[in-house]
Homo-oligomer: A and B are copies of this chain.
Amino acid sequence: MDGLFSSPQFHAYAKYGTIAILKMMILGPLTATTRRLKGFYSSNPEDYKAFSNLSSHEISAHLTKRDPYIERIRRCHRNDLENIIPFITFGFLYVSVANPSLEACLWRFRVFLAARILHTVCYLVPLPQPSRLLAFAVGWIATVSMGWAILTS
């Protein structure tokens, strides 16, 4: 009776969307773990009090310090938010109203997911540019192509 939710298109969306979000969610614990390993806790004095042996005076001096690699993970995480959430939104509307073939869905979902996994690898290794720029561009175009299909359907 729920035509959409038992369709292979929606199941493909559920699978690739879930993997993309899980990939993004790994970056939260990765940030927290790297903070523990490196001893940098951004501007939170309560974190330094609980997780370091620094004195109050030393903590004050540390609150403005940033570790370059932790900031890199955070930039990667923010870029995921900016790109994966539009994909999640458009993927759902695309399978709901644009009546796409399963093949058209799988192409877009797989290209997007591959591009975003590559983007994360490029950011966190880091690999020389323009690899990260290309990965961003491919994922962006795959997402916009669904937005366009929604508006013209």
Contact = CB atoms under 8 A, between A and B. Distances in A.
Give the secondary structure class of A's interface: helix
A52 to B, nearest CB: 11
A86 B3 CA distance: 25
B151 A28 contact: no
A71 B66 CA distance: 15
A20 to B, nearest CB: 9
A56 interface: no
Given A18-B151, A28-B140, A46 B97 contact: no
A110 B91 CA distance: 22
Say which size band chain A's interface belongs to: 35 or more
A61 interface: no
Nearest to A143: B25
A127 interface: yes
A81 B75 contact: no
B129 A49 contact: yes
A46 B144 contact: no
Contacts of A97: 5, 10-11, 14
Given A42-B75, A44-B126, A46-B128, A147 B1 contact: no
Given A18-B89, A63-B68, A81-B82, 14 more contacts: A10-B96, A10-B97, A14-B96, A17-B93, A18-B90, A19-B151, A22-B144, A25-B86, A28-B140, A46-B126, A46-B129, A50-B129, A50-B130, A51-B129
